[in-house]
Structure 1
Amino acid sequence: MQLDGILFDKDGTLFDFARTWNSWAGELIAETCRGEPERAERLAAALRYDLGAQAFRPDSPVIAGTNREAAELAVSALPEWTVEDMEVHLMESAARLVQVPATDLAPLLEALRRAGLKLGVMTNDTEYAARAHLDQAGVTEFFDMVIGFDSGYGAKPDPEPLLAFATAQGLAPERVAMVGDSTHDLIAGRAAGMVCIAVLTGTALEHELAPFADHVFPDIGHLTGWLAAA
């Protein structure tokens, strides 16, 4: 096997999901609901967020969904908001968040680039937030393309945004790996004809991801060793 490119999901893949997003969501709910317990409980229920544990429930659609889908869920609990205003609210709040990397990103990405690989990010978050998070982590320069759900190519689990990366970089899809922490990532990768690699830095467990993946790693730091062995 030889790869020419790697396409990464963002949340739960480049960055640890629980250590990044659980506390953010609790703060967002409190801020949005102005500390009103009943409204906070409604919003948390809509987002499938456990206020007591301060964590997303494993079945929360927010985990792998788009910013638009999260906004629609939020507005179902807070109808005084429009979906459009909630989208902007979530995007701006998320963009200010300082992410927790899943591993030491710069050395890993530098090694992958030195190996001649084209690198990209495809996230169901907004492109605006994705670029803000990559900038905060100091790794934007390593990526040839950054795609959000709103970049014009669609969202996972559809394969179109993955194929857009391959096309833009002049790569055959079968020589690209899609790396992600959710079944959305892996279903999209399989439909695009790519190598599918699952990582366990999101909320999904190994037995949930393994049926959709060619390989399952604890985190993306294991990619260099796997590539060297391959």
Structure 2
Amino acid sequence: MTISALLFDKDGTLFDFARTWNGWSMSVLTGLAEGDAERLAAMAAAISYDLDVAAFRPDSIVIAGTNAEVAERLSPFVPQMSEEALAAHLIQTAGQAEIAQAVPLAPFLDGLKARGLKVGVMTNDGESSARSHLSRSGVLERFDMVIGADSGFGAKPDPDPLLAFCSHTGADPKTTAMVGDSRHDLIAGRAAGMRTIGVLTGMATRADLEDLADVVLPDIGHIPDWLDR
């Protein structure tokens, strides 16, 4: 197997989805509700968030959607903000979330770079919050390119932002692997002509991913062994 580049999704892939976003989302929804229990319940239902257990359900738009898509769902219940202001608020607060690395990222990425691989991030989150998370994790400078849904290349499941990474780095899509925890990630990877690696640190199960993935791994830490097979 020849792989020259790896392009990673962020949430659920580099960072464990549940440990990063479940608690943050309860705090954000509570703040937006401004003490109104009915509004809180309506917002939670709109994005498939279970208030009883403070966790997203597997069908939530938040798992693979963009901030703009989430804001559109929440906006009818947030009269104090325009939809555009709400999307900006989500990006700003997301950048401040307590993040849980799926594996220790610095040594993992150093190992990939030592193999001569190009590495990048393509997330449906905003680029600024992605850069904030990577910077706070001490790994931003290890990536050759960081792309968000607002970076001007589009969003997954479209392949355009993945191909923008290849164009920027000189990587061949045929020897690039898209790594992600959602079907959106893998659909985009297939459409871009890339290899696809599914990981189980998001909300999707192995059964959800395996028809679109060349391999499904427990987490990104298993990628070096897969490359060596």
Which amino acid counterpart does residue 220 of structure 1 have in structure 2? I
Q: What is the Cα-based RMSD across aligned positions, in Å? A: 0.8
Deviations along 1:120-143, one digit per CA (max 9) or x if unpaired, are 000000000000000111011110
- Cα deviation for residue 201 of structure 1 reads 0.2
Query: What corresponds to 1:58 in structure 2?
Result: 58
- Cα deviation for residue 76 of structure 1 reads 2.6
Is the 8 Å Cα contact of residues 176 and 195 (structure 2) preserved in structure 1? yes
TM-score (normalised: structure 2):
0.98
Matches within 5 A, 1:61-140: 61-140=61-140
Q: Distance in 2 between matches of 1:77 and 1:35?
A: 13
Higher mean C-alpha deviation, range 30-39 or range 108-117: 30-39
Query: What corresponds to 1:198 in structure 2?
Result: 198
Deviations along 1:98-140, one digit per CA (max 9) or x if unpaired, are 2100011111100000000000000000000000000111011
Query: What corresponds to 1:162 in structure 2?
Result: 162
Deviations along 1:163-218, one digit per CA (max 9) or x if unpaired, are 00011111110100000000000000000000000000000000010001000000
Q: Secondary structure at the residue paired with 2:210?
A: helix
TM-score (normalised: structure 1):
0.98
Is the 8 Å Cα contact of residues 156 and 185 (structure 1) preserved in structure 2? yes
Gaps of 5+ in 2: none
Deviations along 1:74-115, one digit per CA (max 9) or x if unpaired, are 103324431111011101110111210001111110000000
How many residues end up aligned between the 2 structures? 229
Query: What corresponds to 2:149 in structure 1?
Result: 149
Is the 8 Å Cα contact of residues 46 and 77 (structure 1) preserved in structure 2? no
Q: Distance in 1 between matches of 2:182 and 2:35?
A: 32
Which amino acid counterpart does residue 183 of structure 1 have in structure 2? R
Give every structure 1 segment of 4 or more consecutive aligned residues whose post-TM-superposition deviation is greater than 2 Å. Answer: 76-81
Query: What corresponds to 1:189 in structure 2?
Result: 189
Is the 8 Å Cα contact of residues 67 and 91 (structure 2) preserved in structure 1? yes
Residue identity over aligned pairs, in percent, reads 55
Is the 8 Å Cα contact of residues 98 and 136 (structure 1) preserved in structure 2? no
Gaps of 5+ in 1: none
Q: Distance in 1 between matches of 2:225 and 2:141?
A: 23
Is the 8 Å Cα contact of residues 46 and 76 (structure 1) preserved in structure 2? no
